[in-house]
Structure 1
Amino acid sequence: MKKNWQIKTLDEVCKIIMGQSPPSDTYNENAIGMPFFQGKAEFTDLYPIARKYCNKPKKIAEPFDILLSVRAPVGTTNIANQQCCIGRGLAALRFENYKYGFYFLRSIQYELDSKGTGTTFRAISGETIRETLIPYPCIETQQAIVSKIEELFSELDKGIEDLKTAQQQLKTYRQSVLKWAFEGKLTNDNVKDGELPKSWEIMKFGEVVNNYDGKRRPLSRDVRAKRQGKFRYYGATEIVDYIDDFLFDGKYLLIGEDGANLVSKSRPLAFLVEGKFWVNNHAHIVQTKELLNIDFLSYYFNSLNLAEYVTGTAQPKLNQANMNKIPIPIPKIEEQNEIVLELERRLSVADKMEESIAHSLLQAESLRQSILKKAFSGELV
């Protein structure tokens, strides 16, 4: 710590207002009264978004107060951009230089979280907040620190934005490669848009697979808890448990039957499973018939938009009858194998790039914390 800096408690340098929830009959969602923030649920990166209002607030935060989450999760911060009511999940801290206070609290977020107590909900008390120590230079130095942090964060944010743009470009590239593959453009020259190579044929999904849905068997969580073992137990999109027995042995394609994933495609719609395993009734299970590469079918299925085959809105579902109607473009087995190899080559490169970007994004967040740590130990100015 620099010699001309002081160490003070938060209670000495800012006004601390602990939140208090007003009676529930004073809440509304019709913008009557003052914006009401209960906790981190309303937070964004900087400013909270009002979803509820209160016409009889108990505790009020003013514009530029720092809103601190004091109940699980502890330590998260936002800046009040308007006068607002705060519930017991928040505290408001009013600094002379609000940005200095904001960046300091962000620098100790995990330290504050470690001080949380309680079994049901971790929380920190007003006393803990008041006794928290803060390095406190003169106001001019505080402003210089804020300016340096924002300069470095601006550069960092630009890098993060570029990385996220690259992530989106890779997603677009993946979709394009899959589209080209099943239009025949990866393995044939001069294929016209909207047409398939002459050697390809269109068949229905139900014509090219053997379906084993009748052998699926769900087990309740309680039963699974009593039958823990080494065999994988699959649900719609992933392993959900390990049990002491198996239903299937071999290489199969599992296709999620229900859930929002069918529409959002946040996870692969279909995934290959090999070896001994169990499947509940949330995933269709199939094997390909002769002269159809199961990896080819898996890639194709994950390229699809299933909107027209999925029924239901509250709980979207792909039933077996609709799944069997899905058209499959099929080349000769040799070309299928060639397409699979080309997809694996191209998509593996994309996978490595995505891993590198994800690692860089993690490093960027670590660098952000490093900048804050240096700022409040006097190393930036």
Structure 2
Amino acid sequence: MSDDATLDDFTETTEEPEPEQDSVRELFGLGEIPSDWSIESLANIAQIIPGNSPPSSTYNENGEGLPFFQGNSEFGHFHPEADTWCSEPRKEAEENDVLMSIRAPVGDLNIADRNCCIGRGLAALRPKTLNGLYLFYNLAERRPWLSRLATGSTFKSVTKGDLQLLDIPVPSLSEQRKIATVLHNVDQAIQKTEETISQLGRVKKGLYQTLFSEGYRKHNQFKSSKYGEIPESWRVLKLAEITSQIQAGGTPDTDEPEYYDGDIPWVKTGELSQYRVTETEQSITDKGFQESTARLFSPGTILIAMYGATTGEVSLLDIEATTNQACCGVVTTEEMKPEFLFHQLNYLSNHLESLSAGSGQQNISKGIIEKFDVLVPTVEEQDSIVRVLNSVDESISENESTKKKYQRLKRGLMQDLLSGTVRTTDTNIEVPDEIAQHG
């Protein structure tokens, strides 16, 4: 994009655009589009190549043959990530083909960055007369509609015949390239932010390993523990020895509407995947609180998922809240800083989860949590370790906020540019070679 055109040029739109009547047309499923755009079936503008899985005997993990992709499980931000190759492919996609998931979930998209073998879960769309990146973004904008095309009782899928009937709005090739350029620039910003978040995650993992084995200050003497070598001065205590409360929450009767949608935040285990709990999806009333086993936990309480899909996950409560019965609230004494215990339990999460039991689902009892061994440095060293780890978490949080901002911008731009509500025709946008090579 040139200096003459910025992303701001495409975000300053009125809430209710009023296009001239002769500049738009109504089309079922697409809404209003400019009159100088055409409508083409996907069959007319792209070759549709359904995948076909080769015999498993032709698979390998040694990089022999072509990369083999079977579905959206291999999809990355733009390009799929290969971990399997095929020596005798039945169906091939070419570099720059749009790859679409055609079996549940339907409509996920990637772009082939090289020739590859595609299995039954994918179709390759090879543009004939339009820019491939424009097609990629157009299909991404209409993904919910693609999902509605899917049929099947065991699992949902779409056929080549379904895709052939899909209508695509087609502006001039010049405008296609400009639209793709704007959206691709935002996507690159999102991808770079994701890479930064991933890198920070690796840094944090390394810091966990160092700080919980070597400590923050320089230690000269070490001893063995169940978690490996630790500083000689550190103690190993049961959680029950450094906590004032270890207690599960409670769930008010779900058949009583008067118990819910009140003013008391109520945490569910599915919300423990976030770093800190600052808000909750549901709340309960004072009546629901009084007439159930729910308990009110104060900020600084560590929450541990005791059973279910999130067993062993840990979050730190930043607000006063209640929890459901699958959450265990842990309140520390003065010997243990809440944030230090929070970071340590995340570091030791595999050890904690390994103690779970149950044939139907994993679960961690209150008794297991009480007896769980934790490392206890001096409070001063705990504070130092927390400062280091929190600084990384703050950077991760900032980048996650930036990513969400870019994602919101992208959604708005896709709605405006792909519908023709905002035009690029009179804007000076430099189309880079990486966009032009897609058509």
TM norm structure 1: 0.60
Specify the alignment match of 1:180 in structure 2.
Answer: none
Does the Cα contact within 8 Å between 1:237 and 1:256 map onto a contact in 2?
no
Partner of residue 94 from structure 1, selected from 126, 138, 143: 126
Please report how far the alpha carbon of residue 129 of structure 1 lies from its aligned counterpart in structure 2 after TM superposition.
0.7
Change (3 A) 1:81 1:129: same
| Aligned ranges 1:170-185 → 2 under 5 Å | none
Structure with bigger RCO (C-alpha 8 Å, 6+ apart):
2
Specify the alignment match of 2:173 in structure 1.
Answer: 142
2:147 is aligned with 1:113: yes
| Aligned ranges 1:242-253 → 2 under 5 Å | 246=293
Specify the alignment match of 2:167 in structure 1.
Answer: 133
Specify the alignment match of 1:33 in structure 2.
Answer: 65
Does the Cα contact within 8 Å between 2:189 and 2:406 map onto a contact in 1?
no
Structure 2 CA distance for aligned equivalents of residues 278 and 260 of structure 1: 14
Change (3 A) 1:102 1:299: closer
| Aligned ranges 1:272-283 → 2 under 5 Å | none
Change (3 A) 1:27 1:247: same
Change (3 A) 1:26 1:359: same
What is the CA deviation profile of residues 122-143 of structure 1, one whole-angstrom value per residue up to 9, with x for unaligned ones? Answer: 2222122101111234xxx314
| Aligned ranges 1:195-206 → 2 under 5 Å | 205-206=237-238
Change (3 A) 1:204 1:279: farther
Specify the alignment match of 1:56 in structure 2.
Answer: 88
Does the Cα contact within 8 Å between 2:314 and 2:342 map onto a contact in 1?
no
2:342 is aligned with 1:302: yes
What is the CA deviation profile of residues 28-79 of structure 1, one whole-angstrom value per residue up to 9, with x for unaligned ones? Answer: 3333333221111111122212222233332222222211111122111112
Partner of residue 364 from structure 1, selected from 402, 406, 410: 406
Does the Cα contact within 8 Å between 2:61 and 2:84 map onto a contact in 1?
yes
What is the one-letter code of the residue matched to 1:369? R
Structure 1 CA distance for aligned equivalents of residues 402 and 330 of structure 2: 39
Specify the alignment match of 2:424 in structure 1.
Answer: 380
| Aligned ranges 1:213-232 → 2 under 5 Å | none
Change (3 A) 1:314 1:5: same
- Mind listing any 5+ residue stretches in structure 1 that lack a counterpart? 177-191, 196-200, 217-223, 332-338
What is the one-letter code of the residue matched to 1:326? L
| Aligned ranges 1:329-348 → 2 under 5 Å | 329-330=378-379
Please report how far the alpha carbon of residue 27 of structure 1 lies from its aligned counterpart in structure 2 after TM superposition.
2.7
Specify the alignment match of 1:315 in structure 2.
Answer: 354
Counterpart secondary structure, 1:127: helix
Partner of residue 5 from structure 1, selected from 19, 37, 41: 37
Does the Cα contact within 8 Å between 1:205 and 1:328 map onto a contact in 2?
no
- Mind listing any 5+ residue stretches in structure 2 that lack a counterpart? 1-32, 208-215, 220-232, 261-265, 273-279, 285-290, 357-363, 426-439
What is the one-letter code of the residue matched to 1:315? S
Does the Cα contact within 8 Å between 2:101 and 2:123 map onto a contact in 1?
yes
What is the one-letter code of the residue matched to 2:59? Y
How many residue pairs get matched? 327
Structure 1 CA distance for aligned equivalents of residues 413 and 350 of structure 2: 51
Please report how far the alpha carbon of residue 4 of structure 1 lies from its aligned counterpart in structure 2 after TM superposition.
3.9
Please report how far the alpha carbon of residue 95 of structure 1 lies from its aligned counterpart in structure 2 after TM superposition.
0.8
Change (3 A) 1:79 1:276: closer
Counterpart secondary structure, 1:49: coil
Change (3 A) 1:117 1:228: same
Change (3 A) 1:355 1:91: same
Specify the alignment match of 2:112 in structure 1.
Answer: 80
Change (3 A) 1:53 1:3: same
Does the Cα contact within 8 Å between 1:261 and 1:267 map onto a contact in 2?
no
RMSD: 5.5
Specify the alignment match of 1:184 in structure 2.
Answer: none
What is the CA deviation profile of residues 137-183 of structure 1, one whole-angstrom value per residue up to 9, with x for unaligned ones? Answer: 4xxx314432343145425644785698699999999xx9xxxxxxx
Partner of residue 47 from structure 2, selected from 2, 11, 15: 15
Specify the alignment match of 1:326 in structure 2.
Answer: 375
Change (3 A) 1:326 1:273: farther
Please report how far the alpha carbon of residue 112 of structure 1 lies from its aligned counterpart in structure 2 after TM superposition.
1.2
Structure 2 CA distance for aligned equivalents of residues 34 and 172 of structure 1: 34
What is the one-letter code of the residue matched to 2:151? T
Q: Which piece of structure 1 moves more, 75-84 or 39-48?
A: 75-84
Structure 2 CA distance for aligned equivalents of residues 46 and 89 of structure 1: 18
Please report how far the alpha carbon of residue 17 of structure 1 lies from its aligned counterpart in structure 2 after TM superposition.
1.1
Change (3 A) 1:363 1:55: same
Specify the alignment match of 1:189 in structure 2.
Answer: none
Does the Cα contact within 8 Å between 1:153 and 1:368 map onto a contact in 2?
no
What is the one-letter code of the residue matched to 1:66? V
Counterpart secondary structure, 1:326: strand
What is the one-letter code of the residue matched to 2:166? T
